[in-house]
Amino acid sequence: MGITAALSTLRAASRMAVDAVLPPRCLSCGTVVDLAGALCPDCFNGFTFIAQPFCRVCSIPLQAAAPDEPVCGTCLRERPDYNRARAVFVYNDASKSLLLKLKHGDRTDAAVHLARWMQRAGADVLETCDIIVPVPLHRWRLLWRSYNQSALLANALGRIARKKVVADALVRIKPTPSQGRLDRKSRQRNVARAFAVRRGPAIAGKRVLLVDDVLTSGATAEACTRALLAGGARQVDVLVLGRVPTPGT
């Protein structure tokens, strides 16, 4: 048996031993599943994974078949500052539970599995990016939470896709209240001038892939994009897990 085959056999045996003691569980509800990083059938059926047709700019799912480069009405009226956004699934009641566990429930172990989902959904923006940058937390919120879920996803994605991650390229320079109950305009005001570039030379002339957990109105993604472009980035794309559909699109 060759060295490669022996290592493969050893890894398989190790996985079997671990699974026997700690069987893999559904990322969302914790039910035992066959494979690590999988969803159980009930949770899977509750997710709406984004597939064509969707807006090629903001990733909003579209209701009907569209041309080769479909763009939603919102993006036609007002193009976002970022170039393209990609998302894994629609942010609904089922996916919200999973993301809240990553964000607030210390389910940091899920990041590597979710990053694989992001790799598949964002293959085109990953291929063209030079560096990956997470959306930062303000230092007080980071101290309170102890980790930044966007940085966890970005670091895991960088390892999988073999892309450089500049985790401290951006800094949030002012604390902002939670945006959960704010409308689009209020969100834009809330994050206006909230971000600044910390690592200018690291992003200068680079095509940046901005990583976050959820894309709602796009206010945070656009505020980060404006800071990155002002700091010398060549282009900014966005990759997230959840996409909140805008009412009426």
Mean pLDDT, 10 residues at a time, over the chain (249 residues)? Answer: 47 41 84 92 95 92 75 90 97 91 80 96 97 88 75 96 95 66 53 79 96 92 94 97 73
Phi (first) and psi of residue 182, to 5 degrees: -95, 150
Q: Cβ–Cβ contacts within 10 Å for residue 6, how many?
A: 10
Beta-ladder partners of 209: 132, 237
DSSP element (H, E) containing 171:
strand 170-172
* pLDDT tens per residue, range 80-128: 999 999 999 999 998 999 998 888 766 788 899 999 999 999 999 999 9
pLDDT, position 192 = 56
- HSE of 155, CA atoms in CB hemisphere, 13 A: 13
C-alpha to C-alpha distance for 183 and 37, rounded to whole angstroms: 34
Rounded to the nearest 5 degrees, what angle is found at the Cα of 162, between the Cα atoms of 159 and 163?
100
The amino acid that residue 147 corresponds to is Y
Beta-ladder partners of 207: 235
C-alpha to C-alpha distance for 233 and 244, rounded to whole angstroms: 27
C-alpha to C-alpha distance for 115 and 121, rounded to whole angstroms: 10
| Pair 202, 228: CB distance under 8 Å | no
C-alpha to C-alpha distance for 104 and 3, rounded to whole angstroms: 42
**How many helices and strands (H and E) does the chain possess?**
11, 7
pLDDT, position 105 = 67
| Pair 115, 160: CB distance under 8 Å | yes
C-alpha to C-alpha distance for 210 and 221, rounded to whole angstroms: 8
The structure tokens 């390229």 sit at 169
| Pair 49, 94: CB distance under 8 Å | no
Tally of residues, the chain: 249
* pLDDT tens per residue, range 84-94: 999 999 999 98
